[in-house]
Amino acid sequence: MFTQTSDFLVSTPVPVVMPHPHLPMQFSYPLPYGAIMQDGGVRFVVYSHSATAMRVLLYRRVSDQEPSEIIEFHPQNDRWGDIWNLFVPGLKAGLLYHLQADGPFNPTIGHRFNGRARLIDPYARALAGCFQRSEDGIIRPPKCVVVDDTFDWQGDRHLRRPLAETIIYELHVRGFTKSGSSKVRYPGTYTGVVEKIPYLKALGVTAVELMPIHEFPIFDILGNQPNPANYWGYDSLAFFSPHRGYMIGRKPGDQVRQFKEMVRELHAAGLEVILDVVFNHTAEGNEAGPVLSFKGLENRVYYMLNGDGVYKNFSGCGNTVNGNHPIVREMIFHCLRHWVHNYHIDGFRFDLASILSRDRDGELIPNPPLVEQIAEDPMLADTKIIAEAWDAAGAYQVGAFGTHGKLRWAEWNGRYRDDVRRYWRGDIDMTGRMATRLAGSSDLFQPSGRQPYHSINFITSHDGYTLNDLVSYERKHNEANLEYNQDGENNNYSSNYGMEGFTRRYSIQQLRNRQTKNFMATLFLSQGVPMILAGDEVLRTQKGNNNAWCQDNVTSWFHWKLIDKNAEMLRFVQSLTAFRRRQPNLRRSEFLLGRSNKNGTLADVSWFGSEGTSVNWHKASQSLVCLLGTSGVDDPAARPVLILLHAGQHPQKFIIPAIARSLSWRLFIDTAAPSPGDIYPDADGPPPPFGFAMLLDHHTLRCYVAK
């Protein structure tokens, strides 16, 4: 048969187009979108303003190149405004399908309809298979799956842990257990994560933040294994579907059940689940990219375009999702609610979230509707919402993201990362900034009325060096990414301390080990919410690769033998998480004021120089003393904490401030001491030296806790 499009006529052999019976009006309500199971069949609901015809292509098997049946939407009876709405009786869960739409092809005004294209339903609940090889020029993407969302949650509900009490662990589902050293039954899967729950519990974290689990391409559009591979998954195909590549077996749609089982078991262990979501771009790319889904349904609605139809690129990935268009905004809301309601997700981290602050022309606006509505949405009220408050086009909104409404937005604090790195590297004039970051970054978050827990503090994340590499490399080593080492961040505030990469020199190894402990101790002693990158607790290395997005191999995988090899560091981090969870003085919900609310008690925070006197913020110094009192903390478990920091290259004498000498102090941390003297898990180490004077070695953090 012939399929008519706007600009050309193509000849495509297809099965006979089948008519469908029209049901009574009471069954024709057109929402929600997608393929929805109803009594006796499936209802397909699709948005398109400009399409002139719409079809559903049905398949019997994942491997089928051609549909077994094509069903047309009737342009009058099956269209309500811009909603195409078709009920097909007799269809069941597990059905495989694509969409197909006719319409104008005029890229200069934003139309890219292609009546031959097989389209992924934007609301597909699951995908099956991969891109198939093709000889006729037609791209055959993974097939959509009709899903039955019935699941036995066994009474599971959201954990609703306060953000201030949260410790986040960022991990990659596949990379966490893919290594043979993981010794799990199903490596690289959702079930593999379940098998490692005892490790997560022992580590002491309270939430896992999963790198993207929305569907993304496994093969390229020609059906070939891509080189380099798409490992991280920041290339969404279907926002409503869990990634099929992390499931056991190949049963279409079974990833839905397996993902829910993972969430249920993590919740049973007291661990929340936060998703890293990518609503800033898709796998369709720019004007040279394929028509896979959104482009073939309403391109100029779903993407930001220039006046000539060329894609705006605030994401750095070719296209930019038009998040503040009402239709796209509605889709994002449906998606977030879908994950909260159907998957019991506890929160979201929004990748390149500053794009969500751009209007339909790409201009940053002060009160973006999407950002405000996410904060105000009642279905999301119990969830954590976290912004990566920048984008690839120069927007940097750390401390100023989502400051309207209920002040719900927390943020990845990039300034915390940079300032703490620079302080411990020994950069000059960083003492004041270090104090501000330790105290919760009030300079960033207090002006908008937010609190310390709105700062997600981190030293490392998936994007950049691992903690081990941060102290082992001064230059990125990304040659394996096949981009001539031109990708990845150039300014990492790192140091190799004398030799690039691995070394057997004991003095360098000792200093690197000390610095990793300084970073971790700082992170867990700071006000705000700590986040650690999976593997940092056992000193995982990527051999200097700071942009391992395509390294689906041992470069990125968690190497479980490191648990024994670097047991000293693991013990150190476990002790930090345990101390933080039992010490409310480090998890304040209000900013430190530098004063006491009761006569005779220590101020909530006091700052001193190494001489034990009030710090001179104008003096170039690499030494700092922080005294945290319990004022303002109504919890008998709270204890005063004394933190001594020295980032200099030579030893420095410290004197404990006179105001603190009446308390009975016990050592908790000494990063310069060999294990087990580096940390006392019960904060019951030796008292300060007689006379309250001590010598701190170079690059050392020491912490005392009052009994």
Where in the sequence numbering do the catalytic residues fall?
351, 388
Give which of 67, 77, 63 is closest to 17, Cα–Cα.
Answer: 67
Largest pairwise CA distance in the chain: 95
Question: Alpha helices of 559-654 — where are they, by DSSP H?
Answer: 562-565, 567-582
Burial class of 158 by CB neighbour count within 10 A (0 to 12, 13 to 18, 19+)? middle
Instruction: Count other C-beta atoms under 10 Å from residue 3's C-beta.
Output: 17
**One-letter amino acid for residue 343 of the chain:** Y
Q: Which residues 6+ apart lie within 8 Å of 497 measured at CB?
A: 471, 508, 511, 512, 515
Q: Coil, strand, or helix at residue 418?
A: helix
Phi (first) and psi of residue 493, to 5 degrees: 50, 45
Contacts 24+ apart (CB under 8 A), 62-69: 62/96, 62/128, 62/129, 62/143, 62/250, 62/252, 63/129, 63/132, 64/96, 65/132, 65/134, 65/140, 66/13, 66/14, 66/15, 67/14, 67/15, 67/98, 68/15, 69/15, 69/18
Q: At what angle do helices 326-343 and 295-302 cross, to 10 degrees?
A: 110
Q: Coil, strand, or helix at residue 193?
A: helix
Instruction: Count other C-beta atoms under 10 Å from residue 597's C-beta.
Output: 13
List, as one string, the DSSP characters of 13-73: --PPEEP-PPPPGGG----S-EEEEETTEEEEEEE-SS-SEEEEEEESSTT-SS-SEEEEP
Distances in Å between the alpha carbon of 310 and those of 285, 300, 307, 316, 355? 11, 10, 7, 14, 17
Give which of 459, 276, 279, 262 is closest to 385, Cα–Cα.
Answer: 276
Give which of 217, 240, 30, 256 is closest to 122, Cα–Cα.
Answer: 240
Contact 584, 638 (CB under 8 A): yes
Q: Which residues 6+ apart lie within 8 Å of 283 measured at CB?
A: 216, 217, 235, 236, 237, 289, 292
Question: Alpha helices of 84-135 — where are they, by DSSP H?
Answer: none
**One-letter amino acid for residue 259 of the chain:** F
Phi (first) and psi of residue 197, to 5 degrees: -60, -40
Q: Which residues 6+ apart lie within 8 Å of 205 measured at CB?
A: 167, 168, 169, 271, 532, 577
Give which of 189, 623, 292, 278 is closest to 434, Cα–Cα.
Answer: 623
DSSP state, residue 326: H
DSSP state, residue 464: S
User: Do the strands 111-112 and 105-106 form a parallel or antiparallel pair, or are they unpaired?
Assistant: antiparallel
- Tokens representing 252 are 């279409």
